[in-house]
């Protein structure tokens, strides 16, 4: 049965887009998720929302209980996850305000719990294609229909945070062929893959990090200003694409 999980990032922790919304408290073997779950409907599709950094944005990136969040969404029956996230652009053409649907990641984190399989059994999960290509295509089609500038099939690098990059690091990440940078996609995406959840990142470019000469270096204030200005685009995308996921899923099942 199709059920969509939404993981809310900066500025999108609790979008009021659900019909018949109810709060659900969940406990997991990995502790509490970062927020209570909000469960409801969008055009007949069951949706569950979780706030990645807490509903008051009080949890720093490496303090996010990623395992509890993904476990909770799986336990609620989520088959697909749309994860919103703020990203810095490492490419001239990815302008602030543009959406990005990455298909690859580079893990530059250092101290996060990155697997469910670290105790009784060893499982080597294939990760060549970490993001769901079908969700990427559906999101891209919706963004095009809504006339929202977007980029697909890009690489996101996830750093530990909470500090931002130095100029040397930002230029190095560009040399690694990373296109955008954030602090949240890893280990979220690989944990979703371990739980066999279809996962796509809805990334919003908020700044040019600090590599671009003549550009003001990224600050939290810049990120929030851009997110507030463009959060409506992400919500419009959710509302448009979620029924399309249902229709696509129905065709595939038939």
Q: Enumerate the active-site residues.
A: 207, 209
- Whole-angstrom CA distances from 103 to 35, 48, 99, 152, 225 are 27, 23, 13, 7, 27
Q: CA-CA distance, 35 to 207, in Å (whole number)?
A: 27
What's 31's DSSP letter? B
What's 63's DSSP letter? G
**Per-residue tokens: 70:** 């993904």
Give the residue from 107, 84, 87 showing the smallest Cα distance to 186: 107
Task: Kindly provide the residue ranges of all beta strands, DSSP E only, lying in 160-219, ordered along the sequence.
Answer: 180-182, 198-207
Using the CB atoms, write b or e for 115-137: b if 16+ within 10 Å: bbeeeeeeeeeeeeebbbeebbe
Q: CA-CA distance, 87 to 158, in Å (whole number)?
A: 9
Question: Quick check: helix, strand or coil at residue 38?
Answer: strand
């Amino acid at each position: 049965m199709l059920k969509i999980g939404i993981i809310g990032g900066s500025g999108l922790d609790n979008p009021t887009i659900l019909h018949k919304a109810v709060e659900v408290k969940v406990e997991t073997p990995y502790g509490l998720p970062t927020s209570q779950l909000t469960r409801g409907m969008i055009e007949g599709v069951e949706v569950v929302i979780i706030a990645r950094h807490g509903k008051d944005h009080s949890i720093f990136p490496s303090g996010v209980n990623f395992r509890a969040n993904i476990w909770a969404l799986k336990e609620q029956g989520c088959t697909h996850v749309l994860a919103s996230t703020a990203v810095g652009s490492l490419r001239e053409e990815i302008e602030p305000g543009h959406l990005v649907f990455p298909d690859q990641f580079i893990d530059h984190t250092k101290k996060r719990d990155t697997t469910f399989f670290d105790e009784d059994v060893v499982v080597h999960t294939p990760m060549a294609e970490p993001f769901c290509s079908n969700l990427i295509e559906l999101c891209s089609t919706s963004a095009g229909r809504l006339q929202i500038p977007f980029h697909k099939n890009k690489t996101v690098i996830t750093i530990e945070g909470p500090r931002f990059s130095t100029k040397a690091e930002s230029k190095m990440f560009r040399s690694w062929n990373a296109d955008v940078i954030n602090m949240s996609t890893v280990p979220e995406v690989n944990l979703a893959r371990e739980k066999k959840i279809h996962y796509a990142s809805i990334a919003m470019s908020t700044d040019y990090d600090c590599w671009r000469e003549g550009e003001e270096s990224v600050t939290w204030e810049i990120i929030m200003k851009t997110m507030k200005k463009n959060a409506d685009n992400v919500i419009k995308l959710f509302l448009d694409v979620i029924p399309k996921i249902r229709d696509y899923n129905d065709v595939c099942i038939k």
